[in-house]
Amino acid sequence: MKELLIRRGVVESYLRMVRRNESQIAMLRLQMELPEDGVLLKGIALLHEQSDFSPLFLCGDGSVLLFLYQVHLHTAVRLAKNLRKLLAVECDIKVVCGALTMLAPEDTYLSLEKRLDTFMQRAQEAGDGRICYGTSYYDFCARGGEEEIMQFFFSEHTEVEIYNFYNGMPLQERVKVLSFEEGILRIQTSLAKAAYLEKERFTYIRHPHLPDVVRADVMGARPNRAEVSLTRLHFIDTSPLDRENIRIKPEEHIPVYVDCLEGGKFEGKLEAIAVNSLAVVPINGQPDQRCQAEGSRAELVFSLPEREELSQLTLMGELRYNKDGILVYSLYPNHFAKIKIESYIALQQSKLITILQKMVLNFYQG
């Protein structure tokens, strides 16, 4: 009983902060498959650190309640999903379901508890680690919730960011919203973007006031008018936009020589690279099992093309996962290596700009 009073006192103090317009605060509840005490202790420590040392409370259903400070809804959702991922990767703790909501000035402790309980129930029904979320005025997980959110959002906002990817590189552009009727979004883009989207099947939409990234199918494009029509808009749980670094796929064949510290060597092909990660496809079959163990360390040697020469890099990497025959390593580059990787990515981006310019030229000439 005293634990409940303490939790209520903390929540009501946060509500007073919100009413004074001093902060944006989110409440998050996570239901986890509870492991042995040692692993659970590690998981609780991770939650405490990653939530900026928020107070943690154990709820009656065994879920953990915490708070996220100075965040809008979309940021809180991203942080919650990141916590879910970190618990799985760092602690081997599975999040069964979760619920998140923003504190509103008109809220009371009881209204917040009721809303979180509703979101938690819907997340449990959805399964697969789902985190349901919303605010005092809309419910993301409710049936028909997406349509209501879209309609409300596009009636209030006239610009959004759209994203596509070319060889892993993001193509970002701020576009004007022309209309949103019967599930069809019309936008005005640049001539180059409209010409590019004419050949694409879908695009991503993001805005600070959207609770998550939206994926939309390209219904049609009119490059001569710089207009694009999008349909089947829906929120997605994960997207390439969640990546912290630009990750590209090389057009050329780049060999990678892997020397595993636990024993074994193999040669592979560079599948993708970012400043902090690298993906390798082994050549001539799967490598030694010691090289495939998650968490194993290896020395990675490869050469990145520059303007007129090759720059050889030797980096230490830690295997994060092995999926569909692709080994993905976390990299720890020094200052020199970081500059070389960033230069290579910038070079690929400049090539992309040239390609887009040719696409627009070909459109007007043909």
List, for residues 224-269, the tens digit of each pLDDT value.
Answer: 899 999 999 988 766 666 655 577 888 889 999 999 998 889 999 9
What is the number of other CB atoms lying within 10 angstroms of the CB of residue 196?
24
Show the 3-state SS of the chain. CHHHHHHHHHHHHHHHHHHCCCCCEEEEEEEECCCCHHHHHHHHHHHHHHCCCCCCEECCCCCEEEEEECCCHHHHHHHHHHHHHHHHHHHCCCEEEEEEEECCCCCCHHHHHHHHHHHHHHHHHHCCCCEEEECCCCECCCCCHHHHHHHHHHHHCCEEEEEEEECCEEEEEEEEEEEEECCEEEEECCHHHHHHHCCCCEEEEECCCCCCCEEEEEEEEEHHHCEEEEEEEEECCCCHHHCCCCCECCCCCCEEEEEECCCCEEEEEEEEEECCEEEEEECCCCCCHHHCCCCCEEEEEEEEECCCCEEEEEEEEEEEEEECCEEEEEECCCHHHHHHHHHHHHHHHHHHHHHHHHHHHHHHHC
Residue 116: inside a domain = yes
> Which of 111, 140, 169 is the last residue before a domain boundary?
140
Residue 181: inside a domain = yes
pLDDT digits (tens, 9 = 90+) for 80-128: 988 998 999 889 999 999 999 999 999 999 999 999 999 999 999 988 8
128 and 157 part of one domain: no
Residue 360: inside a domain = no
212 and 235 part of one domain: yes
Confidence check: pLDDT of 180 > 80: yes
pLDDT digits (tens, 9 = 90+) for 116-151: 999 999 999 988 889 998 888 777 776 556 777 888
287 and 326 part of one domain: yes
CA distance 30 to 100: 9
160 and 197 part of one domain: yes
154 and 171 part of one domain: yes
Residue 329: inside a domain = yes
Instruction: Tell me which residue range forms the domain holding 310.
Output: 255-348
Residue 366: inside a domain = no
Which percentage of the chain shows pLDDT scores above 90?
A: 47
> Which of 140, 171, 200 is the last residue before a domain boundary?
140
6 and 136 part of one domain: yes
Query: Domains in the chain: how many in total?
Result: 3
46 and 133 part of one domain: yes
> Which of 140, 171, 191 is the last residue before a domain boundary?
140
Confidence check: pLDDT of 170 > 80: no
21 and 113 part of one domain: yes
Output the domain CATH number for residue 285. Answer: 2.40.10.220
Output the domain CATH number for residue 90. Answer: 3.30.70.270
Residue 330: inside a domain = yes
Residue 353: inside a domain = no
User: What pLDDT sits at residue 121?
Assistant: 93
224 and 265 part of one domain: no
289 and 315 part of one domain: yes
301 and 219 part of one domain: no
Residue 355: inside a domain = no
Confidence check: pLDDT of 358 > 60: yes
173 and 66 part of one domain: no
